[in-house]
Structure 1
Amino acid sequence: MFKKLRWLRKIHISCAIFVIYTIFSNCYCDKPSVKPGFKIVSISPAMTEILFAVSAGNDIVGVTTFCNYPEAAKKIYKIGDFSNPSVERIVGLKPDIVIVNLPEQMRIKKQLEKLGITFFVSSPKSLNDIYKEIADIGKIVKKERGADSLIHYMKMNIGPSEHKRKKSVYIELSPRPLVTIGAHSFLNEMLEMAGGKNVFSDLNKDYPVISQEEVIKRNPEIIILLHPGNITDRLAWKKIAAIKKDKVYTNLNQDHILRPGPRLVEGFKELQRIIRE
């Protein structure tokens, strides 16, 4: 009788241990998975897309919450958001390399330097800069062939368009303060290739802050808003050509245009469509 009770007690204890183990295993499902081989942490959404495009997605062990493409990127361990990634989480992943964006992530770069962690800086100002970064990261992750194919694909699909006359375009990145694109932005170059003329291309900056008066004075034929908002409350803008002719565009996919990666091809086609209308 006692032997039977002891045997039943052992079964109950074993079952309890199994249940507790299962519960706690599920609680820690967001922990980073340990991967063999080369390990990459990407704080750059564009570079995350590039890594997948060159067939290095399986080497990524950590990304930001902004890294939402391709679908597989959403399943990778999150080290924080784009502006405030967790250094502790990055260190815990023991990466071989961390990809950072400048100037936005200068603080993280300095911390990585102090910790002796290898990093790759992404800060393209032109399309050629983007192609060079793709080639460089391809060499680092030993995916040169994939990088070459991606560069070829982008160059074949992003190029000068035939337009008799370029239309003047104002692109707005932020409403408060007003931020646009200047001469030192890859988007300025892409816009010119699509057949547009950036009304602020004379400003020797990448993303300058401007005034409403300057926009009114330059009188763009097309206005593109790359933020969730509109300009219906800007009464002083009523005389701008773009507003008179109903050429204000607010429904573009921002990631296609602002992320310097593979989907710039789609962004370029969207710009071409707008300018041709």
Structure 2
Amino acid sequence: MRIASLAPSVTEIIYELGAEQDIVCSTVFCDYPEPAKSLPKIGSWTTIDIKKLESLNPDIVLTSSAVQGNLTRKLRDLGMNVVNINPMRLPEVVESYNQIGALVERRQEAENIVRELYKKIMAYTVTAQNSGPRVYCEEWSDPPMASGNWVPDVVELAGGVPGVVKAGHLSREYRLEDLQSFEPEIILLHICGMGDRVKVEEVMQRPGWEILPAIQSGEVHVLDDSLLNRPTRRLFKGLETLKEIIGNFKR
């Protein structure tokens, strides 16, 4: 099988399933695990070298999320076999392993991972608090965008109370008044493409943010964006880090 993997999360999952030898091309953002950096690159999130892709004659092209919606439609119009993997909630992220596993002929490997991840969800569900701190997560900073999709699910399992954007809804801009009304006690920054290189001091100086409880108490934290933005098993590493932050929080 010849696989064109055009999303970092998909590439990561294919490696987990043990089908990486079938990948014929990827994007410049496909950088995990480390060997993925050496895969042939044909473009970025939304712009690729279509002629190069056609020359590679893939059996299947895998894209991800609504961000690659236009690219997905364009490639389908060219007659390519394209599947868009688009989980919106944490259980859907888990099920995406089965979806990809079936597509790349690694069903058993996928089922094993899915069982493991559901056990993790159940374990976190049992220990999650009902009255934890209010947590605001931000995935984009210019303009500021509150994290949606599976991130509110992660916050709840970590013992926090998510706000501004509901689970399963797209990340979006918001009114400052909405954030002020939420009164976040913890702010978690996982800015897309920034890793953990976010300048907290700049965020703390945003106009209107000085009244937020998290700003006043200094509860502003940075997390490597790949641990919350990529819908893969590594979300559980992000969850564990957030759980530690919440565990150390004192009102």
TM over 0.5: yes
Q: What stretches of structure 1 of length at least 5 have no aligned partner?
A: 1-37
- Check 1:116–1:202 CA distance in 2 against 1; reply closer, same or farther (3 A cut): closer
Larger radius of gyration: 1
Counterpart of 1:234, as a letter, is R
Aligned pair 1:79/2:45, yes or no? Answer: no
Task: Give 2:141's aligned residue.
Answer: 175
Worse-matched range after superposition: 203-212 or 139-148:
203-212
Task: Give 1:224's aligned residue.
Answer: 188
Task: Give 1:102's aligned residue.
Answer: 65
SS in 2 for 1:147: helix
Task: Give 2:238's aligned residue.
Answer: 267
Alpha-carbon distance between aligned partners in 2 of 1:138 and 1:47, rounded to the nearest angstrom: 11
Aligned pair 1:165/2:107, yes or no? Answer: no
Counterpart of 2:129, as a letter, is H
Task: Give 2:247's aligned residue.
Answer: 276
SS in 2 for 1:238: helix
SS in 1 for 2:36: helix
Task: Give 1:14's aligned residue.
Answer: none
- Check 1:164–1:209 CA distance in 2 against 1; reply closer, same or farther (3 A cut): closer
Task: Give 2:169's aligned residue.
Answer: 205
SS in 2 for 1:41: strand
CA RMSD of aligned residues (A): 1.7
Alpha-carbon distance between aligned partners in 1 of 2:42 and 2:58, rounded to the nearest angstrom: 12
- Check 1:202–1:110 CA distance in 2 against 1; reply closer, same or farther (3 A cut): closer
Alpha-carbon distance between aligned partners in 1 of 2:29 and 2:239, rounded to the nearest angstrom: 22
TM-score (norm 2): 0.88
SS in 2 for 1:104: helix
Runs of 4+ in 1 over 6 A off after TM superposition: none
Deviations 1:60-85 (A, max 9, x none): 11010000001111111001112312
Deviations 1:171-196 (A, max 9, x none): 111222221124xx111111111111
Alpha-carbon distance between aligned partners in 2 of 1:204 and 1:96, rounded to the nearest angstrom: 31
SS in 2 for 1:105: helix
SS in 2 for 1:242: helix
1:98–1:118 contact (8 Å) kept in structure 2: yes
Task: Give 1:111's aligned residue.
Answer: 74
Indicate the percent of aligned positions where both proteins have the same amino acid: 28
Equivalent residues, number: 237
TM-score (norm 1): 0.80
Alpha-carbon distance between aligned partners in 2 of 1:56 and 1:198, rounded to the nearest angstrom: 36
- Check 1:110–1:235 CA distance in 2 against 1; reply closer, same or farther (3 A cut): closer
Alpha-carbon distance between aligned partners in 2 of 1:91 and 1:200, rounded to the nearest angstrom: 42
**Match 2:225 to one of 254, 270, 275:** 254
Counterpart of 2:212, as a letter, is I
